[in-house]
């Protein structure tokens, strides 16, 4: 679960990580009042959407007075902001953060994340500012890293050496290490999966201030943090994905033209990877849970069939003990009867009740191609989507 910037800064303030003075506003009038309370002639009005690259997309506006702040808020509120991280649909701006400007001597990037391969945490640091992803991709050495154990253990001197590599020394390095320790405590205390501060400004007074912050929490641990669970912004949750969850299906919408029906998260991800490798473009991710009944499955497949740009449906099913093949095929047939849409179907069906599933398939009157393995099924689906027979 990702927090908004203002929520992340509020949480990090509990760990003595400073951020600029600011207030959240839902209306232009509230933004003007927030600006007057800030008492500064250097102000920023920032769209509060859960995506990066807001400044490049026009989601951050500088203002020099309360009146200008009001105008900036009016320009942003209600607008749909589209960035590289939102996709083409974008996010509607429903609130803005009005903050005082901070004069930075230097800007840093600092983050902590889970390193799944090492089974621990990883600290990342480097020069901050916009375009950090592109800069890191072009020059991986631009971002330094230090491994942390799950309890925060690290080799003596690792953080000091990191400070030296990013050009910090003396009292400034000590203060940076204090920020790192605070990030680590916040990470562990709140079951985070990512804390990212970019930029972390070094002011002329030698203090560090978080100008922007991103904090992602582990959904599976939210039962331990009811206060944080209450911060979830349901406005940014896709209604279709929520509907699928109510029917025992994990579903993520995508922009492609190949509908995907799969049982199992790992099999689903592998199917998407293979579609991309074959030159195809998936329209969705689907993971049919073992608890889903045939009517649940029909509802989930119906969500895919509702997409008018879908050209073919790829069904990749591995029947297990709790979710046999025939249950999924029955759901497929029900979905087609409900929707009344004729669409080519490429199937790879194997596992428990495989033969019974094929008997059910024979009763369904829709064009279908059965394949013996995943790659063959993927290639056929991509060929149909691209207009090749």
- Active-site option among 5, 30, 99, 196: 196
Measure the CA–CA gap between 265 and 250, rounded to whole angstroms: 8
Helix axes 325-339, 354-362, angle to 10 degrees: 20
Measure the CA–CA gap between 86 and 51, rounded to whole angstroms: 6
What sign has the CA pseudo-torsion 174, 175, 180, 184? Answer: positive
| Catalytic residue flag (residue 354) | no
Upper half-sphere CA count for residue 183 (Cβ side, 13 Å):
31
- Candidates 304, 352, 363, 303; CA nearest to 328 is 352
Measure the CA–CA gap between 319 and 325, rounded to whole angstroms: 5
The DSSP code sequence of 40-61 is -SSEEEEE--S-S-TTTTT-EE
Q: Is the peptide bond before 199 cis (omega within 30 degrees of 0)?
A: yes
CA 25, distance to chain mean position in Å, is 24
- Active-site option among 5, 32, 99, 109: 109
Measure the CA–CA gap between 122 and 41, rounded to whole angstroms: 39
- Candidates 52, 350, 376; CA nearest to 214 is 52
Measure the CA–CA gap between 357 and 326, rounded to whole angstroms: 4
Q: Give the chain's length.
A: 389
Q: Is the peptide bond before 389 cis (omega within 30 degrees of 0)?
A: no
DSSP-derived pairing of the beta strands 213-217 and 258-262: unpaired
User: How is residue 57 written in tokens?
Assistant: 């997309």
Phi-psi region of 295 (alpha: psi -120 to 50; beta: other; left: phi over 0): alpha
Measure the CA–CA gap between 126 and 365, rounded to whole angstroms: 59
| Catalytic residue flag (residue 15) | no
Q: Cα 171–172–174 angle (5° rounding)?
A: 65
Residues 5/212, Cβ–Cβ less than 8 Å: yes
Query: Which active-site residues does the annotation give?
Result: 109, 196
């Amino acid at each position: 679960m990702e927090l908004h910037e203002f929520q992340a800064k509020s949480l990090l303030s509990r760990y003595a990580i400073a951020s600029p003075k600011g207030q959240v506003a839902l209306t232009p009038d509230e933004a003007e009042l927030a600006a007057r309370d800030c008492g500064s002639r250097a102000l920023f009005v920032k769209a509060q959407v859960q995506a990066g690259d807001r400044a490049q997309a026009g989601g951050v506006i500088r203002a020099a007075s309360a009146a200008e702040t009001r105008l900036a808020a009016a320009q942003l509120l209600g607008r749909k902001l589209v960035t590289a991280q939102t996709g083409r649909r974008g996010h509607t701006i429903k609130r803005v953060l009005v903050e005082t400007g901070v004069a930075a001597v230097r800007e840093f990037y600092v983050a902590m994340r889970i390193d799944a391969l090492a089974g621990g945490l990883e600290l990342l640091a480097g020069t901050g500012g916009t375009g950090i992803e592109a800069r890191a991709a072009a020059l991986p050495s631009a971002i330094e890293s230090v491994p942390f154990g799950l309890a925060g253990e690290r080799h003596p001197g690792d953080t000091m050496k990191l400070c030296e590599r990013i050009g910090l020394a003396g009292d400034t390095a000590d203060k940076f290490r204090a920020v790192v320790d605070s990030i680590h405590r916040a990470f562990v205390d709140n079951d985070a999966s990512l804390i990212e501060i970019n930029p972390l400004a070094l002011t002329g007074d030698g203090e560090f201030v978080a100008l922007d912050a991103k904090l992602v929490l582990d959904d599976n641990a939210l039962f331990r943090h009811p206060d944080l669970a209450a911060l979830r912004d349901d406005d940014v949750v896709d209604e279709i994905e929520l509907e699928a969850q109510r029917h025992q299906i994990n579903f993520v919408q995508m922009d492609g033209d190949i509908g995907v029906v799969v049982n199992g998260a790992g099999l689903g991800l592998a199917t998407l990877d293979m579609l991309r490798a074959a030159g195809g473009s998936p329209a969705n991710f689907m993971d049919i849970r073992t608890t889903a009944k045939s009517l649940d499955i029909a509802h989930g497949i119906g969500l895919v069939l509702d997409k008018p740009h879908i050209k073919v449906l790829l069904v990749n099913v591995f029947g297990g003990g709790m979710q046999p093949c025939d249950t999924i095929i029955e759901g497929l047939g029900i979905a087609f009867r409900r929707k009344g849409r004729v669409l080519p179907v490429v199937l790879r069906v194997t596992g428990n009740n495989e033969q019974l599933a094929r008997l059910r398939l024979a009763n369904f009157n829709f064009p279908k191609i059965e394949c013996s393995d995943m790659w063959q099924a993927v290639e056929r689906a991509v060929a149909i989507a691209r207009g090749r027979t």
